[in-house]
Amino acid sequence: MEQKIAILGAGSWGTALAVTLSGKGHNVSVWDIDTNHIKTLASDRENKKYLPDVMFNDKIILNEDVEPTIRDADVVLFSAPAQHFRSALEQAGPFLKKEMVLVNVAKGIEQKSLLRLSEIAYEKIPGVNYVVLSGPSHAEEVGKGLPTTVVAASKDEKLAEYIQDVFMTDRFRVYTNSDVIGVELGGALKNIIALGAGISDGMGFGDNAKAALMTRGMKEIARLGVELGAELLTFAGLTGIGDLIVTCTSVHSRNRRCGVMIGEGMRPSEATKKVGMVVEGMYTTEAAYQLAEKHKIEMPITDQIYAVINETVDARDAVTTLMTREKKPEIADIIQYCHPVEGA
């Protein structure tokens, strides 16, 4: 099933997916807002800046303009950072057709509006054919063809199955899910916990601390997610615990790497700059903090990471605050989510 795929955003993830899709036989066109970057990709046939040693084949076309990239596309894939998704959608808008399927692979929450990216898409293009592709998937491994499994989520089951067919290979397995809210929130909020895991590693706190942070962090993610309309079980899947594990433990994780430098004593702004790419967790932490305040959801780990990256609390003091909170049973609120108690 050869399709024409337009990819907007030529960072590491957009590049890895371009290589994967073109390797399956699809015709792939790639555009990026940085014209010089596109020119370099066209001449090198490789993304030396963001994904080195992964070569392009002849089915990948590099375009300096949006219109020819999108023209006659079956699928338009957005791989711009979450905070730039709205502007990328606006640039593409005049050239999008009703029958095109929009796939978003960014993970985040828009800071000012506190909207999920699907909410922005439906706001800008009512009735859009929208699918989110998410899961534990570092570009560095996907680009090299290492086994990876993700989820295609859409309110329309047929759309999710279509994208499953378009993307799936013997090295890139795709499941489907109808819980767009849960899939998007799992992908966005895990970056907060990955920052925390990195900070913990940077302070030398070991595996026990990180395991607890990840486990309790997933509880916070699920707590906010269910309040916002997600399915609890989604957070037990690939886009929940799966993505959390890989982002909190991998050497490829920008969020964890940024956290490590903060834990070692570097200022958050300096650590972000040193990473050299967008650290989505820095934006998502602030958005999640505001959402928790708005919905009166208890998220103590998020609260402390928010304070640390805003330099109002020292990282070691944040750990002490978390470790000395009031005593409580472990799974009480999980039971409440599964079996709501009136007035609880």
Q: Residues 5, 75: contact at Cβ < 8 Å?
A: yes
Q: What is the dihedral of CA 311, 316, 318, 324, to 10 degrees?
A: -160
Tally of CB atoms within 10 A around 112: 9
End-to-end CA distance of the chain: 51
| In contact, 283 and 253? CB cutoff 8 Å | no
Looking up tokens 């002849």, which residue turns up?
Answer: 58
Q: How many other C-beta atoms lie within 10 A of the C-beta of residue 168?
A: 16
Residue 190 annotated among the catalytic residues of the structure: yes
Q: Where are the beta strands (DSSP E) in the chain?
A: 4-8, 27-31, 46-47, 51-55, 60-63, 75-78, 101-104, 129-134, 148-153, 172-177
Query: What is the distance between the alpha carbons of residues 15 and 21, in angstroms, rounded to a whole number?
Result: 10
Question: To which H or E segment does residue 257 belong?
Answer: helix 254-263
The residue from 112, 190, 274, 294 that is catalytic is: 190
Q: Would you list the DSSP string of 85-126?
A: HHHHHHHHGGG--TTPEEEE----B-TTT--BHHHHHHHHST
Contacts of 226 (CB under 8 A, 6+ apart): 232, 337
Determine phi and psi for 266, rounding to 5 degrees: -80, 145
| Cα gap 155→151, rounded to integer Å | 13
Cα dist from 78 to 131, 140, 280, whole Å: 10, 18, 16
Active-site positions read 190
